[in-house]
Amino acid sequence: MTATALLSELTVRAKVTAHARTTTCVCGTSTLADRPDATVVRHADTVAKAHAPSTPLAELAPRLATATRLPGILLPPLAPTPAALHDRLVTFWPYGTPVDPENPDAAPWEAAAALLARLHRTPAAPDLPAMRGPAKAALAVDRLRAAPPHPATRPVLAAWASLPAWARAEAPMPDTRTLCHGDLHLGQLVRHPAPDGPWLLIDVDDLGTGVPAWDLARPAAWYACGLLPPDEWTRFLDAYRAAGGPAVPPDGDPWPALDVPARAVTVQTAARALTKALAADREPDEIEQSLIDACARMGSAPPELTGTFAK
């Protein structure tokens, strides 16, 4: 089906579901995302999400089941099984208030860290698939390889080649039991009930078992690249440790645990940024270049050394 038809039909589904939940709907529809891998529509207090066309039901179903049984950590879906919309699986969710991108000082780093620690300490269901962090990083690198050639591509691919096979989705992860989010960033938190309920994690598409340090990798990588202030990184790390998170030691240097995931996420982010710049026929901007430069620094030292590419 065309993207326009999908958006139109998903909007109808969101409206019908919202009206079934209340007799006093404050009607209003907005498109929250419209990408090849996800289309998300909100009607009043209901959100409908069409997942990527290739999403297997056998993987999405246990992810939804996990969100259903962990309502204090993950935003639970309105229904435990997805609906079908042509070639897409569709899920329905209550609306939650997202993090305000215009107010970075109010970023809920402590809440995010505490939720992650609780998630990582929760036993995973036996049918839960592997978390998709390394696979998504590999996809970003594959897209860069298919993009037009550019001098910046070489250090990004070299940094990728230096990573161990598990971080490149070419071998099983060394941890296959810990429950992980798989794609943690501040856009994955909402307050529910809106507008000022407790913070919860959203987006189960990458949820699964794996190396819990991957869930700390994005803020770690931002800190390492100079894109996240040290005090915000410290707030996040300290809160995770205070909540008993198992991804890093309870004290001392966290970087032996974080180094490989942080490198992998840096490469992933740099690959995405460079691919986007090449598609727009422009040179990387300052932030994008800082990620590419970080990849170049990775080539000077092997992974799993403390703070090697970072600070």
pLDDT digits (tens, 9 = 90+) for 98-140: 999 889 888 999 999 999 999 999 999 999 999 999 999 999 9
Q: Where are the domains of the chain?
A: 10-93, 102-297
Q: Tokens 């209003």, residue?
A: 28
Output the pLDDT for position 309. 44
pLDDT digits (tens, 9 = 90+) for 12-61: 999 999 999 988 888 999 999 999 899 999 999 999 999 999 999 999 99
Output the pLDDT for position 304. 60
Q: Under DSSP, is residue 270 helix (H, G, I), strand (E, B) or coil?
A: helix
Nearest to 134 by CA among 103, 173, 102, 161: 173
pLDDT digits (tens, 9 = 90+) for 146-193: 999 999 999 999 999 999 999 999 999 999 999 999 999 999 999 999
Output the pLDDT for position 182. 98
Percent share of the chain, pLDDT over 90: 88
- 10-93 CATH choice from 3.30.360, 3.30.200, 1.10.287, 2.60.40: 3.30.200
Output the pLDDT for position 307. 41
Segment 285-291 shows an average pLDDT of 96
Instruction: Write the class of the CATH domain 102-297.
Output: alpha beta
pLDDT band of 67, cuts 50, 70, 90: very high
Cβ 241 vs Cβ 250: under 8 Å: yes
In 9-155, the DSSP E strands lie at: 29-35, 38-43, 46-51, 83-85, 88-94, 97-98
The yes-or-no verdict on residue 308 having pLDDT over 70 is no
Q: Under DSSP, is residue 41 helix (H, G, I), strand (E, B) or coil?
A: strand
Work out the angle between the directed axes of helices 255-279 and 217-224 (0-180°, nearest 10). Answer: 80
Cβ 257 vs Cβ 226: under 8 Å: no
pLDDT digits (tens, 9 = 90+) for 228-286: 999 999 999 999 999 999 999 999 999 999 999 999 999 999 999 999 999 999 999 99
Segment 214-219 shows an average pLDDT of 98
Q: Max Cα separation, the chain?
A: 63
- Answer whether the bond into residue 195 is a cis peptide, omega within 30°: yes
Q: What share of the chain is helix, strand, coil (3-state, %, to 5)?
A: 45, 15, 40
Buried b (16+ CB within 10 A) or exposed e, 86-121: eebbbbbbbbbeebeeeeeeebbbbbbbbbbbbbbe
Q: How many other β-carbons are positioned within 10 Å of the β-carbon of residue 57?
A: 11
